[in-house]
Amino acid sequence: MNEQVERIREEAAHAIAAAASPAALEALRVSTLGKKGQVTELMKTLGTLPPDARKNAGAELNRLKDELAAAIEMRAAALAGAELDARLAAERLDVTLPPRPHADGRIHPISQTIDEMVAIFGEMGFVVAEGPDIEDDFHNFTALNLPPEHPARQSHDTFYLAGAEADIAPKLLRTHTSPVQIRTMMTEKPPIRIVVPGRTYRCDYDATHSPNFHQIEGLVIDRTSHMGHLKGCLIEFARAYFDIPELPVRFRPSYFPFTEPSAEMDIGCSRAGGELRIGAGGDWLEILGCGMVHPKVLANCGIDPNEYQGFAFGMGIERVTMLKYGIPDLRTFYEADLRWLRHYGFLSIDTPSLTGGLSR
């Protein structure tokens, strides 16, 4: 009996220490301590021994059993640790690796410009508001002080939706972002300070007009904002957007039904030698319309014009994008030509900010 115990002890200890996997270890456990394992089988023979020898052999066998169980447990823990180490090594993530911008994807210049504008106006305390592309006559025209017979309606070349003729409230594709002024003033209480970037539509197509284009609208309503604030805000914007601190700016009297007084803002440029240069003297380029919100528009939205006042502005996005990035033809914005996008598009890491300009 003693010899057998010693042999098992040696052989099993060896095999357990060498077990290469949890499955191999389990097989060893079964073949030694299992129901038909070597140690169990020996236990069964104890009854055939004389009482004295039985006592000694029994104690010896129990010791062997405990030793093997402990050895198996130790080996199991070691195998589990090794497995974890291997997984950790295989799944290692190098967090010090710099990001690799996607080689092909680009931000469209229109999206980039909207992001830049929102960053600039955001720094001034404006928040972004949105409205539907499919508008009704009331929000797009009437509430903005363009009643049905108003001649300015004609200049908008509106796309009407089918059935609009018969409808009392005809649906149309918004011709400007100004209806979001109305939607905001009817649902929010002053003070209001919003910018509204978005799609706009007019039935018009040539080198400088597209049936679908983009505008950004601005609206400030409170008790005290005046024309001086309007000018300061828009001058600050233009200089930040074009990244030219001394950019010449002028305001010309103009007419919009929804503002009084109304103005258009020009930026200084030069066209010497047929080349357009922003910021150089001599010439002027119109970039936006603006004015003090008309008292009738405030009243149309349920805001008391004796208590509140403010200013608004609206700007075509394509035009200032073309000016800033030297894009010659408006139509190319919508052609989805990959070569054009690779050339004029932006990387996702070109994040705009008020002071940073563009780190290209």
The residues of the shown chain that bind ligand DAH, judged by CB under 6 A, are 176, 178, 217, 256, 259, 289-291, 312-314
| Smallest distance, ligand DAH to C-beta of residue 256, A | 4
| Smallest distance, ligand DAH to C-beta of residue 174, A | 10
| Smallest distance, ligand DAH to C-beta of residue 312, A | 4
The helix/strand/coil state of 347 is coil
CA diameter of the chain:
123
Peptide bond into 51 cis (omega under 30): no
The torsion angles phi and psi of 286, rounded to 5 degrees, stand at -75, 135
Q: 191 or 357: whose CB is closer to ligand DAH?
A: 191
C-alpha distances out from residue 272 to 91, 177, 191, 327, Å: 61, 35, 45, 19
Q: Which of 257, 117, 305 is nearest to 198 (CA)?
A: 117
Q: Which residue's C-beta sits nearest to ligand DAH?
A: 314
| Smallest distance, ligand DAH to C-beta of residue 270, A | 26
Q: 109 or 291: whose CB is closer to ligand DAH?
A: 291
Return d(Cα 236, Cα 158) in angstroms, integer.
33
| Smallest distance, ligand DAH to C-beta of residue 351, A | 28
| Smallest distance, ligand DAH to C-beta of residue 219, A | 7
Q: How many CB atoms lie within 10 A of CB 189?
A: 10
| Smallest distance, ligand DAH to C-beta of residue 314, A | 2
What would the two tokens of residue 106 be?
């680009």
| Smallest distance, ligand DAH to C-beta of residue 311, A | 7
What would the two tokens of residue 152 be?
């300015």
Q: 151 or 328: whose CB is closer to ligand DAH?
A: 151
125: left (phi > 0), else alpha (psi -120 to 50), else beta?
left
Q: 159 or 256: whose CB is closer to ligand DAH?
A: 256
Q: What angle do CA 127, 128, 134 make, to 5 degrees?
A: 150
For tokens 């089988």, name the residue. 41
Q: Which of 226, 194, 240 is nearest to 309 (CA)?
A: 226
Return d(Cα 108, Cα 335) in angstroms, integer.
12
Q: 112 or 175: whose CB is closer to ligand DAH?
A: 175
Q: 46 or 152: whose CB is closer to ligand DAH?
A: 152
Q: 38 or 158: whose CB is closer to ligand DAH?
A: 158
Q: 106 or 319: whose CB is closer to ligand DAH?
A: 319
Q: Is the CB of residue 287 less than 8 Å from the CB of residue 315? A: yes
Strand 171-173 with 134-136, pairing:
antiparallel
